[in-house]
Structure 1
Amino acid sequence: MCADTTLPSDAPDYRDTVFLPETQFPMRAGLPQREPGWLARWERIGVYDRLRASAAGRAPFVLHDGPPYANGHLHIGHALNKVLKDMVVRSQQMMGRDARYVPGWDCHGLPIEWKIEEQYRAKGLNKDDVDTVAFRQECRRFAEGWIDVQREEFKRLGVTGKWDRPYLTMDYHAEAVIADEFMKFLMNGTLYQGSKPVMWSPVEKTALAEAEVEYHDHTSHQVWVRFPVRGAHCGPAFPKSHHDALMSASVVIWTTTPWTIPQNRAVAFNPEIDYSVFEIKAVGENSAARVGEKVIVADALADAVFGSAKVEGVEKLFALDARHLDLFPFLLAHPFRGVEGGNREWDYDVPMLPGEHVTDDAGTGFVHTAPSHGDDDYQLGVKFGLPMTYNVEADGSYRSDLPLFGGQHIITPEGKEGPANVSVIKQLAYSGALFAKGKLKHSYPHSWRSKAPVIYRNTPQWFVAIDRKLDDGMSTYGDTIRSRALNSINQLVEWTPATGRNRLHSMIEARPDWVLSRQRAWGVPLTCFVRKGTRPDAADFLLRNAEVNARVRAAFEAEGADVWYVQGFKERVLDGIVDPSDYEQVYDVLDVWFDSGSTHAFVLRDREDGTADGIADLYLEGTDQHRGWFHSSMLQACGTKGRAPYRGVLTHGFTLDEKGMKMSKSLGNTVAPEEVIKDYGADILRLWVAQSDYTVDLRIGKEILKGVADSYRRLRNTMRYMLGALAGFSEAERVDVAEMPELERWVLHRLAELDAEVRAGYAAYDFQGVFQKLFTFCTTDLSAVYFDIRKDALYCDAPSSLRRRACRTVMDLLFHRLTTWLAPVLVFTMEEVWLERFPGEESSVHLVDFPETPASWRDEALATKWDSLRDARRVVTGALEVQRTAKVIGASLEAAPEVFVSPVLAGVLGSVDFAELCITSDLKLSTAEAPEGAFALADVPQVAVVFHAATGAKCERCWKVLPDVGTHRHPGTCRRCNDALG
């Protein structure tokens, strides 16, 4: 039928006899206004809990929630993450699993503590003057407030889960389990206290884990520094003239951290690098180099070094073969040796030591070594017994009694560069040790909280040794934490995308021991005691006692971790077991990554809605969590369970603006979830997630959202048409598949194909693929073909017509599949669609599963035939569009084209009512050669079309142009319409 319903004044009015679609389902969704009502309804009828009850006995599927931090409104990355999780959980549930989702929050740690300190500073208060328990209570209240805010924001996204009973890392039971998990490391011998350099934030005055560090461009001072040779014991074959030259030469080092020079204890070289002694012959203006001086650098770097020092003439005196170590037992002088006001602080010999970490890619070929301020430096220091230094305080300043530089900051409390670097450079120049200086822009570590630069600083910290052999009866996947983690990655975990495996594997393969301690107040304390007066490497340094551990856990379970800070707690848990006066209580708190890494124990293991083995089916977070939650959870579980706590890991990219730029408030390009919901509704945000490739970074912005909204409208119109066509459908109308026309059986074949594709896609978490297939099916197979062809039968056939009944039967089958298949994505819209047909307080699309689709619907031969029919149909509709554009016809029903095809294709097209498929009043098939000028499409060479106008009169009911119109009882009708009118 065409859309025009205008009738001549004397024509019969048959409009009331046509079965037009009827539905109250609105064209305009009004999602921002209507979605909260569905949320309230789901909460009222208890959808999540009803699903748990009805799914009892099914195979469980548990997505373990990586806890967001309870300290602010949600950003678009949160929305992406939670919507992906929700689509996983809903699709797994509707495919027949018992899909459980317990949301959780990370509640301890520096970000919250920092906020409370800011509030204190604003009031002129000092945190250190406040009782620790009172301070921790303020942190707890702050977290509680944001949890309530974020919970409502997550629910507004349509995310289902156990929102009335989430997990919180600050719950008493959680704190007790976190402490208990820590004490397992205490008992298995992997916990130790070491004094080594760690990433340190002078602003926050605490050690940081790698996951708490981000890298930004930073401009550093760079200096080339002379270390004069003090002694060179060369072999007898070494010429005396060379020896004399060495004794008047300097080894030149290069560093971008001048502030570490006062802590220097050695200079490293690589025996595989070629070095030479050079004499400077000429220098440029303002050069710190001196004519006649002799310096030692790597041959490959000499030109760059002398260029930086504005040296204009140089002579290579002789080479030094570093492979013969007897030629290189040099002793050097520290640059500040004998300096005025130095109080002999640096009057020690600086050894030359071989190190594989030294390269000739940059610098001078020699590496200044401060064991307290770098990992390579520390490892070299351990190997050769170098002394550690303790010159840098927690606030990033030199110790007050350090000569020349005492009290000066490297990084100020505000996160800015302090005077230390410049002071050291000036002193190097004053001492005659500065060979060259400059500035260098490079990537440098910053705290991801304060955004301030960090430093490597040697402090006593608590570590877990990840290569120490464990004898805990859990050696299936290895006998060290590292080996267990690597074997878990390779053998136990399915990675989506697969590249996630390599990323985590390489990180764990190369990582150092895990730094557990933080010098803060808000967190779970390191629940251990150390014996007074003993060294950290002593066998009895740590108190390892199961009964003490049990008392600590019981106290935390009853009173929370705050009890650790209550006066007399040490005596309470040690009395009767050991003498409390022999032990000191540790007051550092655990790295929050240990908190979240332990969640498998108090969520998966301990909750009734957890898992029987304490292992999740899926962890799902952003790619940054390879160094965060995936990483810490792996290490923690490998130490306490012997394997990974997850069977699958899915990672998604970050959110960018439409131009691919990182979002920032300063650029004004952020997209807040609440703004998208206010303008479009949460379903549009969810559809954006489903339409995106989450394995890479995702772009979002106004234009992108407009495109998403357009896709939504097209899909909504498909559902609306289907609802209208099904008005009044009853079981009495249903037609058996065997009785259906080919067109209906072809649609059922497509449904059977889609059923397999949708289930496989959801199982692989390929939401983009699932939606693309369903959207294409709705817009192409249904709207452009099936609905277009069948609207005439739906509107004009008698209710008892087999064709009409078959169509409505298929519409019903389509309805049940499309609404459920799309429900994990468009949670609000599919609920609206479902309730339009099945109203009632207890009704919900989210309480049903994907319907089973009979394999017998598959008919490959029929599908092949209909591929040919659709190709031929395209040629006909293309020919008619030319005539419509030329205003020869107004509608396709005014046409009766002649279609020229091969004899074989004529048999295919002749087996169906091809005029009906092409929506023409008549159509003639011909196997003759097509006349010149016939319409054709290059990709369908077997079909050509010549236009002819339909002959006869227009039926006033169905608008087909047929010869028999006007010859029946009902005026102006064709035979089909006359019979339908009775």
Structure 2
Amino acid sequence: MCADTTQTPDYKDTLNLPRTEFPMRAGLPKREPAWLDRWEKIGVYDRLRDKQGRKPFTLHDGPPYANGHLHIGHALNKTIKDMIVRSHQMMGFDARYVPGWDCHGLPIEWKIEEQYRKKGKNKDEVPVIDFRQECRKFAEGWIDIQREEFKRLGIAGNWADPYITMDYHAEAVIADEFMKFLMNGTLYQGSKPVMWSPIEKTALAEAEVEYHDKESFTIWVKFKVVDTGDTTLDNAYVVIWTTTPWTMPSNKAVVYGKDISYGLYEVTGRPEECWARIGDRYLLADNLAADVFARARLDDTMYRRLCDVTQDDLAKIQLQHPLAGAEGSNGEWDDIRDFRAADFVTDTEGTGFVHCAPSHGMEEFELYRDLGMLEQVITYNVMDDGSFRADMPFFGGKYILSRKGGEGDANKAVIDKLAEVGGLLARGKIKHSYPHSWRSKAPIIYRNTPQWFVSVDRKLDDGMNQMGDNIRERALRSIDQLVKWTPPSGRNRLYSMIEARPDWVLSRQRAWGVPLTCFTKKGALPTDPDYLLRNAEVNTRIKAAFEEHGADVWYTDGFKQQVLGGIVNPDDYDQVFDVLDVWFDSGSTHAFVLRDREDGTDDGIADVYMEGTDQHRGWFHSSMLQACGTIGRAPYRNVVTHGFTLDEKGNKMSKSLGNTIVPEEVVKQYGADILRLWVAQTDYTADQRIGPEILKGVADSYRRLRNTMRFMLGSLADFTEADRIDPAEMPRLERWVLSRLAELDEQVRKGYAAFDFQGVFSAVFNFATVDLSAFYFDVRKDALYCDGDTPRRRAARTVLDILFHRLTTWLAPVLVFTMEEVWLERFPGEDSSVHLVDFPDTPTDWRDPALEENMAKIRRVRRAVTAALEVQRRDKVIGSSLEAAPVVHVEDAETRDLLATFDVDDLCITSGLTVTADPAPAEAFRLPEIEGVGVVFEKAEGAKCQRCWKILPDVGRHAHPGVCGRCDTALS
């Protein structure tokens, strides 16, 4: 007998609806600081260190400068590091992270000088120790600020005890590492062209230089040919081209190419405004002659080629400087200029001849060094402030750059004088990429000056020669044999740099840094064997003094007597007061961090160094050179490199363009987890883009993921171990989820081990949103909400629990705040934290490739069905897929048999579904990409169950009014 359905009860309260207080709106900007406080209170980082029996894993932090607020590059860099450390910790390692700061060097010293200039104060009038103390205080302030900014991004580490290069122990070790080069014979004082900042009055390393477009003067200059014995060539002119007119007073030679075709050209006509004269004869490379004459305003009717000029002809030539014999020159330029062939001359640009000022160009310097002629060609015409020496005729006191870094008056003075004496053929301007100081943003010059160098090619007799006899050999073999590179292109980049690099310039003419702790013998020459004092006892005294007082002690009165007394006569030696290149400081960090700290490494080698691609010429490079000279090999096993961060259009960020993204502002608007998610979603090995629209997309991905986690939490509200069911007893749909999990577990672990966060997140995100939210959750909602205590519902909840533990831990290294929130929603407690657990082991026997293949076939059919029903919903034929009971025509017999073993109406979320082998009629819905499947829409027959909303024939025939048999059983 049918039950009475006229008065149907409200069954809402009988459903197993999700129960959770986990909000859909995250409110991250306001809530994240509370989690930070909680982690600090329960001491998460220290508790992780207490876990016993784990293999250490150490990422060594490349130290940022303590001199300003964080930019987006800092956020990217530290977040990647944090993901590396956290993921390895959760894979079972003791993953240590000691953050550090670089505190010496030009960036900080420049800030103090800026403060002085604003106050009208002269740095040179301040006692050096007082000045150094101001630099130290400045750095200390910014360390505190940056530490809090880094922590706000969710970066976990030993923040209470970071490493700081200006700590006394660090300064002592840096000095000690320098003295190892002193003792092993690779340190020497030499004079060669180095990159020099006239504004900052110091040498610069390549890593302290950046390239910007600069407009430069360019001139074509005539050198007169004299005394060849050939009347054809005598009084002709060799023409050179240069973009640095200021180097002309230091010219000592002109060089030509061995394999270039040269000709002698005569001027036969001229326009009114032109420096060329009719009858002038010029030696030029044939490939460049037309361009040179065009620059001189001569068209091809105004000159002719007279004859070839052979290598034998060139070998007879002597040249005169254009300023030779000029009135008032006092014979400064009267010497004959050297003229010879050189390998670096080409005929692709210029004139085919290159003017040489070996004091201001490395190629020219090396040419004359190898010829043993440096004494004849080296000049000291340019002072440390970029001015010409005061007694130089015509140009004394002229500045190459203005005091603010703009164009000085030297170039114009040189050009005007050359024009006055008839030495110019043409002039112009060129816009080209030019080196600038990273700190002052002013152009730099090459300047010959005495500096301290470490030789990369001198033989080392230090008992560590298994990787090579010198620093270069050891570095190149380390790159190939001991280090893994991510991405692999990093290997080629560093290898080519070290393969071609010159000796390392260690000295800087500054005040804030670790001094070059060495002494030179008075009256000796740098080439003399006893020029440098090499004494182990002296070195020990220096290191001990630095440990107790810091590097400032080097500048105190009587320090020389203190460390030399009783060993040698202090009066016989001069103390060196240059400071070390700051890259030597950071290159030495492996010694006082990895080697010396309790949370360092047993062998002083880091598992990972991770920085931006610019550090191939910076920290990766200096660390490699320094370690190869002191421990015989690279100080790292892995080098991971990230690219630069650009705006949404791919432009470099700059304040002037107004396109900068400040981490603090992103955190205020979205929360740190959104910034971290952006890092995880991007390919950090290339340049990345960020901007408002990109962040909106990231926030949308976050919301979808948060919704997945919320669904699991709601369905697991009262789950206990008593509800758990063994995988062997689960339906195939659940076993398919477990199979996917086993596959994903391997992918996640391999991805994290390879530092592939984009790959890990993409795999987990797609699984969570496509396999789970859009399929499995959608299918199992009915069973979860409407079933009673059935094996199917217990299986689904068991799978949800298994999913929960894996998704929260797999995503915890990325979304550190959100996964903590998710975890605490289920496992509250004073000491509870997702960051204290590991990735759970996932049984490999869950993997079932055959089941995955079968489910893929079923999902193809399902996709055709859901697409067909979407058309009916769009046309308002139905409001819900439960109103449908489609007929699905499937051509493939194997697929039909497979569908017969599944509850396909549940999988397609319909009230009924019929699979048939009959040919699909013409009106059947088809998807082009899914062949052999046609769907014919039919409405479901029966009444709507007032509890589960399925439309079924048996509704109303059970004890409880208005429900189907399944719901009646659940209610009973």
Alignment TM class, shorter chain as reference: over 0.9
For 1:652-667, what aligned pairs fall within 5 Å after superposition? 652-667=642-657
CA-CA distance at 1:9 after TM superposition: 9.3
CA-CA distance at 1:285 after TM superposition: 2.5
CA contact (8 A) 1:232 1:328 kept: no
Mapped partners of 1:127, 1:869: distance in 2: 78
Q: 2:857 aligns to what?
A: 868
Q: 1:979 aligns to what?
A: 969
Deviations along 1:848-893, one digit per CA (max 9) or x if unpaired, are 0000000110011111111111111112222222222222222122
Say whether 1:915 aligns with 2:911: no
CA-CA distance at 1:308 after TM superposition: 1.1
Mapped partners of 1:503, 1:899: distance in 2: 58
* Secondary structure in structure 1 of the residue aligned to 2:192: strand
Letter in 2 for 1:27: M
* Secondary structure in structure 2 of the residue aligned to 1:276: strand
Q: 1:262 aligns to what?
A: 249
* Secondary structure in structure 2 of the residue aligned to 1:595: helix
Query: Residue 896 of structure 1: which of 865, 874, 885 is its match?
Result: 885
Mapped partners of 2:624, 2:761: distance in 1: 33
Mapped partners of 2:344, 2:112: distance in 1: 43
Q: 1:47 aligns to what?
A: 44
Q: 2:222 aligns to what?
A: 226
Mapped partners of 1:754, 1:628: distance in 2: 37
Letter in 2 for 1:867: A
For 1:717-756, what aligned pairs fall within 5 Å after superposition? 717-756=707-746
Q: Please, what TM-score do these two structures have when normalized by structure 1?
A: 0.97
Instruction: Please say which of residues 284-293 and 35-44 is displaced more in the overlay.
Output: 284-293
Percent identity reads: 69
RMSD value, Cα: 1.2
Q: 1:813 aligns to what?
A: 802
Letter in 2 for 1:763: A
Mapped partners of 1:933, 1:893: distance in 2: 22
Mapped partners of 1:894, 1:72: distance in 2: 63
* Secondary structure in structure 1 of the residue aligned to 2:446: strand
CA-CA distance at 1:253 after TM superposition: 1.2
Query: Residue 497 of structure 2: which of 496, 507, 511 is its match?
Result: 507
CA-CA distance at 1:283 after TM superposition: 1.5
* Secondary structure in structure 1 of the residue aligned to 2:845: helix
Deviations along 1:609-637, one digit per CA (max 9) or x if unpaired, are 11111111111111111111111111111
CA-CA distance at 1:697 after TM superposition: 1.0
Query: Residue 31 of structure 1: which of 5, 16, 28 is its match?
Result: 28
Letter in 2 for 1:427: K
Query: Residue 417 of structure 2: which of 416, 420, 427 is its match?
Result: 427
Mapped partners of 1:9, 1:498: distance in 2: 73
Mapped partners of 2:518, 2:306: distance in 1: 60
For 1:488-567, what aligned pairs fall within 5 Å after superposition? 488-567=478-557
* Secondary structure in structure 2 of the residue aligned to 1:352: strand
CA contact (8 A) 1:395 1:412 kept: no
How many pairs align?
962
Deviations along 1:301-324, one digit per CA (max 9) or x if unpaired, are 1111111112342232322211x3
CA contact (8 A) 2:225 2:234 kept: yes
Q: 1:483 aligns to what?
A: 473
* Secondary structure in structure 2 of the residue aligned to 1:603: helix
CA-CA distance at 1:956 after TM superposition: 1.3
For 1:595-606, what aligned pairs fall within 5 Å after superposition? 595-606=585-596
Say whether 1:12 aligns with 2:4: no
Query: Residue 341 of structure 2: which of 351, 354, 377 is its match?
Result: 354
CA-CA distance at 1:672 after TM superposition: 0.2
CA-CA distance at 1:427 after TM superposition: 0.8
Letter in 1 for 2:60: H
CA contact (8 A) 2:168 2:549 kept: yes
Mapped partners of 1:632, 1:117: distance in 2: 27
* Secondary structure in structure 2 of the residue aligned to 1:120: helix
Mapped partners of 2:314, 2:875: distance in 1: 96
Deviations along 1:528-569, one digit per CA (max 9) or x if unpaired, are 000011111111100011110111011111110000000100
Deviations along 1:104-156, one digit per CA (max 9) or x if unpaired, are 00000011111111111222211111111111000000000000000000000
CA-CA distance at 1:296 after TM superposition: 1.4
CA-CA distance at 1:219 after TM superposition: 1.1
CA-CA distance at 1:898 after TM superposition: 1.7
Q: 1:964 aligns to what?
A: 954
Deviations along 1:185-228, one digit per CA (max 9) or x if unpaired, are 11111111011111110000000111111111111111111111
Mapped partners of 1:681, 1:981: distance in 2: 45
Q: 1:929 aligns to what?
A: 919
Say whether 1:767 aligns with 2:757: yes
Mapped partners of 1:121, 1:343: distance in 2: 39
The 4+ residue runs of structure 1 with deviation greater than 3 A are none
Letter in 2 for 1:38: W
Mapped partners of 1:653, 1:728: distance in 2: 47
CA contact (8 A) 1:484 1:642 kept: yes
CA-CA distance at 1:942 after TM superposition: 2.6
Query: Residue 328 of structure 2: which of 311, 329, 341 is its match?
Result: 341
Query: Residue 940 of structure 2: which of 928, 938, 950 is its match?
Result: 950
Say whether 1:679 aligns with 2:666: no
CA contact (8 A) 2:357 2:377 kept: no
Letter in 1 for 2:207: A
* Secondary structure in structure 2 of the residue aligned to 1:227: strand
Mapped partners of 1:885, 1:307: distance in 2: 72
* Secondary structure in structure 2 of the residue aligned to 1:246: coil
Q: 1:827 aligns to what?
A: 816
* Secondary structure in structure 1 of the residue aligned to 2:931: strand
Mapped partners of 1:955, 1:252: distance in 2: 98
Query: Residue 620 of structure 2: which of 600, 623, 630 is its match?
Result: 630
Say whether 1:803 aligns with 2:804: no
* Secondary structure in structure 1 of the residue aligned to 2:609: strand
Q: 1:378 aligns to what?
A: 365
* Secondary structure in structure 1 of the residue aligned to 2:467: coil
Q: 1:106 aligns to what?
A: 102
CA contact (8 A) 1:342 1:404 kept: yes
CA contact (8 A) 2:224 2:320 kept: yes
Mapped partners of 2:886, 2:805: distance in 1: 38
CA contact (8 A) 1:397 1:409 kept: yes
Letter in 1 for 2:321: H
Instruction: Please say which of residues 957-966 and 856-865 is displaced more in the overlay.
Output: 957-966
Say whether 1:68 aligns with 2:58: no
Mapped partners of 1:514, 1:429: distance in 2: 40
Deviations along 1:329-349, one digit per CA (max 9) or x if unpaired, are 322112111111111111211
Mapped partners of 1:433, 1:923: distance in 2: 96
Letter in 1 for 2:211: Y
Q: 2:154 aligns to what?
A: 158
Say whether 1:331 aligns with 2:328: no
Letter in 1 for 2:38: R
Q: 1:391 aligns to what?
A: 381
Say whether 1:568 aligns with 2:555: no
Instruction: Please say which of residues 456-465 and 865-874 is displaced more in the overlay.
Output: 865-874
Mapped partners of 1:571, 1:123: distance in 2: 37
Q: 2:203 aligns to what?
A: 207
Q: 1:281 aligns to what?
A: 268
Deviations along 1:339-388, one digit per CA (max 9) or x if unpaired, are 11111111211121221111111111111111111101111222341331
Say whether 1:463 aligns with 2:437: no
CA contact (8 A) 1:103 1:162 kept: yes
Deviations along 1:236-271, one digit per CA (max 9) or x if unpaired, are xxxxxxx01222212111111111111111111122
Structure 2, unaligned runs of 5 or more: none
* Secondary structure in structure 2 of the residue aligned to 1:882: helix
Deviations along 1:935-970, one digit per CA (max 9) or x if unpaired, are 222222232222222222211111111222212111
Structure 1 residues 212 and 9: alpha-carbon distance in aligned structure 2, compared to 1, 3 A threshold: farther
Q: 1:59 aligns to what?
A: 55
Mapped partners of 2:849, 2:947: distance in 1: 37
Q: Please, what TM-score do these two structures have when normalized by structure 2?
A: 0.98
Q: 1:613 aligns to what?
A: 603
Deviations along 1:415-458, one digit per CA (max 9) or x if unpaired, are 01111111111111111211211111111111111111111111
Mapped partners of 2:207, 2:655: distance in 1: 23
